[in-house]
A and B are shown apart, each in its own frame.
Chain A
């Protein structure tokens, strides 16, 4: 009964943009409550969001959209004709007051909120997109806190379509929901009843075509997998303490591998040994190889593999190249391009033939059957993974198989001595071309070529058409298909309006799943092109679902689309498709499980004061009106305040400090990260940053600056809160290097900056607490002063014996070392004096003959003429490299 009522209700609701029944359900859910919606990949939330924004698009409302990516922003801005926020603070303030819907970058919003530019109490609500990236640590969470603290009625609605992101970490969903101040969680997996029902109502016809790999290819694949397994094993054996659950050879072949690596290793990157980094680098190389093997032709694969068969690579490589499987790999890769008589005879990609058959025979025949033989206006969409495959297919279809392979070999600079018989014919015209090219200025052509190639790589859609319509004699065309091109490109104008194209011939459009990372590109193409036939040259979960959605949304009188699914049987391609399906399913199951046992405290929505009272340390006397006092100028003086560098908003400390009831002054400062009081300046470093900046020398420079300008400089060393504090004593993660080196450097730093205080903090929470205690009873820092110090006038510094400007200058001169600088400074009086001295007199001061000589010559001998400059600049790069090899 209830269900039926529900359905009636759903049908009665009219929306601006048409929604499917399940989308309507999502819309109603999210409209009524503040919630987090997690939707399966590919079932985009943009129509729901569009409806939501349309409802609120009115000058009397102020709705802010957070965390959108460029494509989303562009899509909605165009759809609703939104105004973009102005750049200056004052103008933004006015814009907020005018109301409407705005897409705001979070960093700007944080600053505006802290500076009271946003009429917080009047904000109607906030929509958060890509909610999986919101965490307590991030600025989005900080924005929402600031918003919720002062606005108890506005709505917060969050969307995400990456369920997998919520499975990393501990209690991720709960954390995100807490950060978002929402109490409800709605899950919409693909296997949700309503979605299945909606999508089942009208389904496209699907033909799965399983294509066999050639024997050599599958052997190569086996080799690569073996090498990958070996590398992963090695990697794990030297990094036992590291959590590397997600780094498996199965995951190596999925699309998300880079993301997985990043999430697991980014926070400890500098703590890894060079060997570990080599292994990771190699995994990436192997991954590109295996993807190239499946997606690209034999010639490009051979040239790719050849790149790694050099002695230079063997030196930087972690050792897989010495394995037996590697040898087999090289041999087989060559076999695919050259036949046993070492003639050039590359094997074509098996999918090509399949594609040709489809385009030339099957589809035309079908069209003939169904639509009385007119091929006109038949639209075919070919979808593939990346721009490279797009251009590959384009070339293949326009040039024909053998010409294309030969062309690739030519482009990749393969040396070909003998050519198999069927290529002989092709050889001649190309040879002539080659000669023409060599005659031209070599440098010029190579540059142009590169540009051409780059251009090609950036292009992500091609439009072709069949030239020889296979209506008359399909057999004849089939015999020709492998040699002659049957397709010709239609002039490729940017933003070509496909609907306007009126041709007598069928249109073939080749496109990637996502154009330059734009999730909506496929949906838009489907809407505008409305193809009758879709060929999935590669497989992608999200694309499949978008096609399903497109099909369901079609009007009833439109013909059904036919989808061809080209997939290699029993390969990593199939595996990676299945893995991504499985991972998403598991993620949803986990989320459903979590949802069923989740306890959400009633105050989590932040609409009562209860939530903030739990978290903000109350000041004894004015606890009653802290909230009111926030905006008033008189009171703020009494509240503790801290100056925070803008760049520090990437970390969670500012938000935590704010939680503690400390006011935050966001300012761009060059010295230090936090200024607590007029004398205390803090530079915050995570362990990984600490190691990085000690090695690069940046920390030394930062400490010099801090010590010159503040009486109490502090170096805050912050440990990762998720790791045990005591284990980190050894600084490094990998077992094959030791942390001694870093310990020594840190001690050296303390020797040279005796006034620099070290603070060891186990987590940002502890840091916030410590800052709070340090602030008690102390003056607030002055923003103007901090800013003045950041400028070029290095203020009155009482902490140096020497004038800094000239000290820094002399320090950098050749012949001056950290040992003799003190003597030189004490006895040299000034630069004017130094240049009057003879070499012997200099030697007396410096007490070293060689150094005095260098210094003397630099002062008096003409520096190298200007034309040698270029050489030194060029050399700079090379010296760096050769130095590495020497080591």
Chain B
């Protein structure tokens, strides 16, 4: 279910075209809420030109509440370039993802797609992989930087199972033809690091703070005034 902000979006022509997914009106901060992680703000270039402050206030309200924040811009002017350039800069400063649509239909498609793909894995855009298990192991082993396909083959013939490769000591790895001390060291390190990073959580919060600093809302306001002063020229 997509939740759509009642106050802002009622009467938006794109609503007519949302056909493939269910939706309801609700009182929410963004214009469209796809799920817990994705939100969309809608803006038409024409409207933005008339009310340049509007998007500012909306962005301020939205803050950083969702992981993916999309600014869906409908291009309905003949020459949208200056407006788009400003919007691009705003998006870069406020960490918004900019999507463009040229008609209400396209905009509705984009909203629908976000709902449909919300929880889909990225398989569709990843490299196609072989189905053969042996080929897969070779691929996996050769994805570790210094190891190439031949090395991977050597490892498999020598140790026969993945278990043995993992259990092998660094010096055993180094004995394989084609392996040197450095290559063995790197492979050994890769195979034996823990999955999770140490002190991950604390770093995460630190990182967020950094970002908060970077995106100062005053910046945006400065930008806006700058744009406004430019426009009369």
Q: Are A701 and B127 in contact (CB under 8 A)?
A: yes
Segment with Cβ contacts to B, from A112-120, A230-238, A868-876: A868-876
Question: Would you list which residues of chain B between 63 and 106 have a CB under 8 Å from chain A?
Answer: 67-68, 70, 75, 78, 80-81, 84-85, 88-89, 91-92, 95-103, 106
**Is residue B190 contacting chain A, with contact meaning CB distance below 8 A?**
yes
Q: With A714-B92, A751-B68, A773-B89 known to touch, is A805 a contact of B190 (CB < 8 Å)? A: yes
Q: Are A812 and B136 in contact (CB under 8 A)?
A: yes
Give the nearest-CB partner of B84 in chain A. A760
Report the separation of the CA atoms of residues A806 and B96 in the bound assembly, to the nearest whole angstrom: 31
Q: Are A835 and B166 in contact (CB under 8 A)?
A: yes
B85: A residues at CB distance < 8 A: 766, 769-770, 773
B50: A residues at CB distance < 8 A: none
Give the nearest-CB partner of B116 in chain A. A744
**Is residue A792 contacting chain B, with contact meaning CB distance below 8 A?**
yes
Min distance, Cβ B23 to any Cβ of chain A, angstroms: 17
Give the nearest-CB partner of A695 in chain B. B125
Q: Which of B143, B146, B161, B211 contacts A812 (CB 8 A)?
A: B143
Most buried by A among B120, B122, B129, B191: B122
**Is residue B137 contacting chain A, with contact meaning CB distance below 8 A?**
yes
Q: Are A863 and B133 in contact (CB under 8 A)?
A: yes
Q: Which of B70, B81, B117 contacts A744 (CB 8 A)?
A: B117
Q: Are B190 and A809 in contact (CB under 8 A)?
A: yes
**Is residue A829 contacting chain B, with contact meaning CB distance below 8 A?**
yes
Q: Are A757 and B193 in contact (CB under 8 A)?
A: no
Q: Are B156 and A818 in contact (CB under 8 A)?
A: no
A600: B residues at CB distance < 8 A: none
Min distance, Cβ B110 to any Cβ of chain A, angstroms: 7
Q: Which of B88, B144, B146, B162 contacts A770 (CB 8 A)?
A: B88
Report the separation of the CA atoms of residues A711 and B92 in the bound assembly, to the nearest whole angstrom: 12
Chain B residues touching A, majority SS: helix
Min distance, Cβ B227 to any Cβ of chain A, angstroms: 11
Q: With A726-B75, A762-B81 known to touch, is A876 a contact of B68 (CB < 8 Å)? A: no
B204: A residues at CB distance < 8 A: 801
Q: With A743-B109, A752-B122 known to touch, is A809 a contact of B143 (CB < 8 Å)? A: yes
Q: Which of B67, B101, B133, B153 contacts A729 (CB 8 A)?
A: B101
Please tell me the size bucket of the interface on B: 35 or more
Q: Are B207 and A760 in contact (CB under 8 A)?
A: no
B103: A residues at CB distance < 8 A: 729
Question: Would you list which residues of chain A between 720 and 765 have a CB under 8 Å from chain B?
Answer: 725-726, 729, 740, 743-745, 747-752, 754-760, 762
Report the separation of the CA atoms of residues A803 and B78 in the bound assembly, to the nearest whole angstrom: 48
A774: B residues at CB distance < 8 A: 89, 92
Q: With A805-B144, A812-B143 known to touch, is A700 a contact of B133 (CB < 8 Å)? A: no
Question: Would you list which residues of chain A between 227 and 285 have a CB under 8 Å from chain B?
Answer: none
Give the nearest-CB partner of A769 in chain B. B85
Give the nearest-CB partner of B37 in chain A. A754
B129: A residues at CB distance < 8 A: 812
Report the separation of the CA atoms of residues A298 and B204 in the bound assembly, to the nearest whole angstrom: 75
Instruction: Give the A-B pair count, Cβ closer than 8 A.
Output: 213
Report the separation of the CA atoms of residues A248 and B115 in the bound assembly, to the nearest whole angstrom: 46
**Is residue B121 contacting chain A, with contact meaning CB distance below 8 A?**
yes
Q: Are A817 and B121 in contact (CB under 8 A)?
A: yes
Report the separation of the CA atoms of residues A749 and B68 in the bound assembly, to the nearest whole angstrom: 11
A807: B residues at CB distance < 8 A: 195
Q: Are A826 and B196 in contact (CB under 8 A)?
A: yes
Report the separation of the CA atoms of residues A756 and B200 in the bound assembly, to the nearest whole angstrom: 21
Q: With A700-B125, A744-B113, A876-B130 known to touch, is A813 a contact of B140 (CB < 8 Å)? A: yes
Give the nearest-CB partner of B186 in chain A. A792
**Chain A 677-707, CB within 8 Å of chain B: the 1/0 string?**
0000000000000000010111111000000
A750: B residues at CB distance < 8 A: 68, 70, 97, 99
Report the separation of the CA atoms of residues A766 and B163 in the bound assembly, to the nearest whole angstrom: 55
Give the nearest-CB partner of A759 in chain B. B88
Give the nearest-CB partner of A799 in chain B. B207
**Chain A 406-427, CB within 8 Å of chain B: the 1/0 string?**
0000000000000000000000
Give the nearest-CB partner of A726 in chain B. B102
Report the separation of the CA atoms of residues A743 and B135 in the bound assembly, to the nearest whole angstrom: 32
Min distance, Cβ A187 to any Cβ of chain B, angstroms: 38
Report the separation of the CA atoms of residues A64 and B192 in the bound assembly, to the nearest whole angstrom: 55
Q: Are A831 and B113 in contact (CB under 8 A)?
A: no
A740: B residues at CB distance < 8 A: 109
**Chain A 847-887, CB within 8 Å of chain B: the 1/0 string?**
00000001001111111101011001001100000000000
**Is residue B16 contacting chain A, with contact meaning CB distance below 8 A?**
no
Report the separation of the CA atoms of residues A718 and B166 in the bound assembly, to the nearest whole angstrom: 45
**Is residue B118 contacting chain A, with contact meaning CB distance below 8 A?**
yes
Report the separation of the CA atoms of residues A725 and B113 in the bound assembly, to the nearest whole angstrom: 23
B190: A residues at CB distance < 8 A: 805-806, 809
Report the separation of the CA atoms of residues A875 and B157 in the bound assembly, to the nearest whole angstrom: 20
**Is residue A99 contacting chain B, with contact meaning CB distance below 8 A?**
no
Min distance, Cβ B39 to any Cβ of chain A, angstroms: 11
Q: Which of A697, A726, A754, A801 contacts B125 (CB 8 A)?
A: A697
Chain B residues in the interface with A (C-beta under 8 A)? 37-38, 67-68, 70, 75, 78, 80-81, 84-85, 88-89, 91-92, 95-103, 106, 109-110, 113-114, 116-118, 120-130, 132-137, 139-141, 143-146, 153, 156-157, 160-163, 166-167, 186, 189-197, 200, 203-204, 207, 210-211
Query: Can you list 28 A-B contacts with CB-CB less than 8 angstroms, sorted by A residue number?
Result: A697-B128, A700-B126, A714-B92, A726-B78, A729-B75, A729-B101, A729-B102, A743-B113, A745-B124, A748-B117, A751-B120, A758-B98, A760-B100, A773-B85, A798-B203, A801-B200, A802-B197, A805-B145, A805-B189, A807-B195, A812-B129, A812-B139, A826-B195, A830-B193, A859-B161, A863-B156, A872-B134, A872-B135
Chain A residues in the interface with B (C-beta under 8 A)? 694, 696-701, 711-712, 714, 725-726, 729, 740, 743-745, 747-752, 754-760, 762, 766, 769-770, 773-774, 792, 798-803, 805-814, 817-819, 824-826, 828-832, 835, 854, 857-864, 866, 868-869, 872, 875-876
- 7 closest A-B pairs by beta carbon, nearest first, are A697-B127, A818-B121, A812-B140, A729-B102, A754-B68, A805-B190, A803-B193
